[in-house]
Amino acid sequence: MVDIDFGKYPRYDELVGILKGLHEEYPGFTKLYSIGKTLEGRDLWTMEVTNFETGPGEEKPGIWVDGNTHSSEPTGTNVCLKTIWHLVTEYGEDAMVTEIMDNRVVYVLPRVNPDGAEIFLTKPYHYTSGGIPNPDFADGEGHYEEDVNGNGKSAFMRWEDLTGDYKKSGKDSRLMIKRGPADTLETDGPFYKVLREGKFLKWKPGKEITMAPRLFLGGSNRNFPAYWAPGGLPLGGSGPIPLWEREPRAISDFWASHPNLSGIHTYHTSGGLILREANAHPDSWFQEVGCEEDLEVFKVLGAIGEELTGYPCISIYDEFTFEDDRPFRRGCATSFFYEHFGSYVFSTELWDWPWMIGLDHFRERGGVDFSWAKLTEDEQLNELKWIDENYADGFLDWEPYEHPQLGHVEIGGVERKYTRRNPPPGKWLKYEVDKVLMFAIRHASLLPLLEVTESKVEKVADRVFKVSAQVANTGFMSTNVTKMAVKIKVAKPVLAEIRLSDGAELVTGHEKVDLGHLEGRSAKLMLPRVIGGDVVDKTRSSVEWVIKTASDELVEVTVEARCPRAGTSRVRVTLQ
């Protein structure tokens, strides 16, 4: 059995080894292939997970799961790996997993950004974006992150300065707190300047400190076509054109060639919340464009996510962005997969670090108004206490160092990679993976599912038969999945087809019949709980053909119903 330590952040080669090991152990449940290559030549290994004995993946409704879009957020990779592991190991043991494996398909890309992640996991840099070297960096000016003292980590620097806005806490000298407005050197000093550990391009003593250009570019999540805009935007940058980066291009091409996909879960860090559409509009927009049913389904799915994870599911536009931040919410994956593919998309921000150190959850602590700079001294001491008790490597003791530009400094402080940004390796990483694991799996179980539920043969004359069938959507979602998918014409209708064998001739009816879209139970979410009068059931449709046989011998024909987002169902019937 493949030995997977879900409490360890795997490097790229380890990740590939785990995926290949899972495929070798479960060849009937997995396919492993690369959907593209990164700038540095790393494959974007993707795992297709389903029971291939019940049909190929492309004939089943599918969901996409990915992680580590941003290089500094590797926690998502481990959630993806355990998703695969849970599906293949629980088959035959867990009823929901078995049903998913038999009737649906899950595509998993554990590491969207392998180039940037490899830098993050092996070098001291915190913000490595997509790992694409920034050509403007060398000619830039200002402060940039660097491992100055060569200990393999990048923390903070502090040095005494009369105009410094920090001082040591009187309760714990490791902690640097803001200097009070009335503090004096005689009673409250010494005072310090505090910066991230680093160096300076074009350094001149006494000059104001500015930020240098980023060391690396990319990061994918502003490079998708939806509302794309040029310019160096936060959280990764937009790139010169949409899909300029190889990773979003590969993912987009995969989706375009897999019309069975209609849902996506993407894992990020941090904050402890689930983000849903709309990204570029308030919730009132759904009604304006005739997609209010989609909002109701988003809320139902989100409530499932809240129940499973304890994290609130919120609207990106209404609850996650500041007024002046909204113009930067361009080129995002969430808008792209909903508005361009008509899919339900959820972006989970893993690891609720503020809550771990004793603060409230996202909504209760003020949502996006929360700021680390506003923490009280006691709250910051609680952070140090949690680190001391749970992850000793999470704080680097302040040590003196002769900085090549600043002179005498001390280097130390909170190690942010595996405290504020990601859970520490070991039990806390396992804890977070298990906490969020089931949301995507539950989502997969609610995809539409097409079935030929009834088929009947009636002899109407000598060697003439009427074949009738009922096609039903037995899944929760409608076969088009979203109203947006109908609006943008990406949702294909349900087709019923009679496949004739030799010796059979179609007398009446068309071989292929367009049944339109079949509703799921989700279509009734906006109806009142108590319904008066007749309610039309649009979850099923009937079709019939008249067939003549050339002889009295038994003839078999196949009734097939198919829809990319709802799967394929076949029934063989005998004419006799």
Residue 259 burial by Cβ neighbours in a 10 Å radius (0-12, 13-18, 19+): middle
Q: Which residue has the higher pLDDT, 528 or 239?
A: 239
Instruction: Write out the residue limits of the CATH 2.60.40.10 domain(s) in the chain.
Output: 450-575
pLDDT at 267 over 80: yes
pLDDT confidence bin for 235, thresholds 50/70/90: very low
The backbone torsions φ and ψ at residue 461, rounded to the nearest 5 degrees and listed phi first, read -165, 175
pLDDT at 301 over 60: yes
pLDDT confidence bin for 369, thresholds 50/70/90: low
Averaged over 105-128, what is the pLDDT? 94
Quote the pLDDT of residue 527: 66
Among 102-116, 430-444, 544-558, 559-573, the range scoring the smallest mean pLDDT is 544-558
Instruction: Write out the residue limits of the CATH 3.40.630.10 domain(s) in the chain.
Output: 12-121+218-351+423-445
pLDDT at 246 over 90: yes
Quote the pLDDT of residue 326: 62
pLDDT confidence bin for 18, thresholds 50/70/90: very high
Q: Residue 484 corresponds to which tokens in the numbers above?
A: 């947006």
Quote the pLDDT of residue 136: 86
pLDDT at 244 over 50: yes
Q: Does the domain at residues 12-121+218-351+423-445 carry the CATH identifier 3.40.630.10?
A: yes
Share of the chain above pLDDT 70, in %: 95
Beta-carbon contacts of residue 105 (< 8 Å; ≥ 6 apart): 48, 49, 50, 57, 58, 60, 61, 62, 63, 260
- Reduced to 3 states (helix: H, G, I; strand: E, B; else coil), residue 106 is strand
pLDDT confidence bin for 322, thresholds 50/70/90: low
pLDDT tens-digit map of 142-151? 999 999 999 9
Quote the pLDDT of residue 529: 53
pLDDT tens-digit map of 525-567? 876 555 555 557 899 999 999 999 999 888 999 999 999 999 9
CATH topology of domain 450-575: Immunoglobulin-like (2.60.40)
pLDDT at 75 over 50: yes
- Reduced to 3 states (helix: H, G, I; strand: E, B; else coil), residue 517 is coil
Quote the pLDDT of residue 348: 97
Q: Rounded to two decimals, what is the model's pTM?
A: 0.94
Question: In whole angstroms, what is the distance from residue 97 CA to residue 445 CA?
Answer: 8
